[in-house]
Structure 1
């Protein structure tokens, strides 16, 4: 969209500048008409060149867009595959990890029980 606006601005500026130069230069009517005819060919050539470049930019933008879409799709597919493989890799270890967590929780509860008993015993000894 920005490229289109830029090219349109360049084209408009070129036409206005050319017309302003032709009309402001002191010359006879015959010379002016001759210069207009000469510059008309140049302006048409310039317009065709700008049109060709605009088409090239459009084609490159479309190509880049398609390439980026394909890259994003490939990346997301690869990430999904990696996540699935990771899930499958950790699945056998998941149960073992849960068992170890349960053992740790049990040990913490036992430790809390021992600490609370020793705290209670210390308070009775002080009395």
Structure 2
């Protein structure tokens, strides 16, 4: 749903509600005209305020989008650099652990062979 459609519906609903309330209230003609005039003036002011808020929101979204376009690539590069550094830092440990795993596997195989030899 577009924001403009939403706000148009909001304004239309507000006007309809204001008119309904004004006409359902028992008032003399002069008071009713004054009330309607005041209500229409208030509604115009509120519509201007909403329009100003929507414009501010559009500007904020535009600024946020621009900042994100600039900041995200920098953040991605920083993350890539950190991951590369981490990989380089952990590479010696990885190699050492692989050697230890191979040694453990050999020890297990030797143990299995000795158990089989003892059972015969």
TM bucket, shorter chain = 0.5 to 0.7
State the partner residue of 1:5: 9
User: Could you say which residue in structure 2 is the equivalent of 1:85?
Assistant: 78
User: Aligned Cα RMSD in Å?
Assistant: 3.0
**Gaps (5+ residues) in structure 1?**
26-34
Return the match for 2:22 from 18, 23, 27: 18
Task: Report if the CA contact (8 A) 1:7-1:54 is conserved.
Answer: yes
> What secondary structure sits across from 2:35 in the alignment?
helix
- C-alpha distance 18-103 of structure 1, shift in aligned 2 (>3 A): closer
Tell which structure's C-alpha radius of gyration is larger. 1
- The TM-score normalised by the length of structure 1 is 0.65
For normalisation by structure 2, the TM-score amounts to 0.67
Corresponding residue for residue 60 of structure 2: 67
- For 1:55, the equivalent position in structure 2 comes to 48
How far is the alpha carbon of 1:109 from its aligned partner?
1.2
Deviation readout 1:31-63 (Å, 9 max, x if unpaired) = xxxx43553343133212201211211211221
Aligned length: 116
Deviation at 1:123, TM superposition (A): 1.6
Q: 2:90 aligns with which of 79, 91, 97?
A: 97
Runs (5+) with no aligned partner, structure 2: none
Question: CA deviation digits over 1:99-122, x for unaligned, max 9?
Answer: 432332122112101211121112
Identify the residue that residue 28 of structure 1 maps to in structure 2: none
Change (3 A) 1:44 1:89: same
Once residues 95 and 101 of structure 1 are traced to their aligned partners in structure 2, the CA distance between those partners, rounded to angstroms, is 10
Q: Does structure 1 conserve the Cα–Cα contact (< 8 Å) formed by 2:11 and 2:47?
A: yes
Match of 1:121 in 2: 114
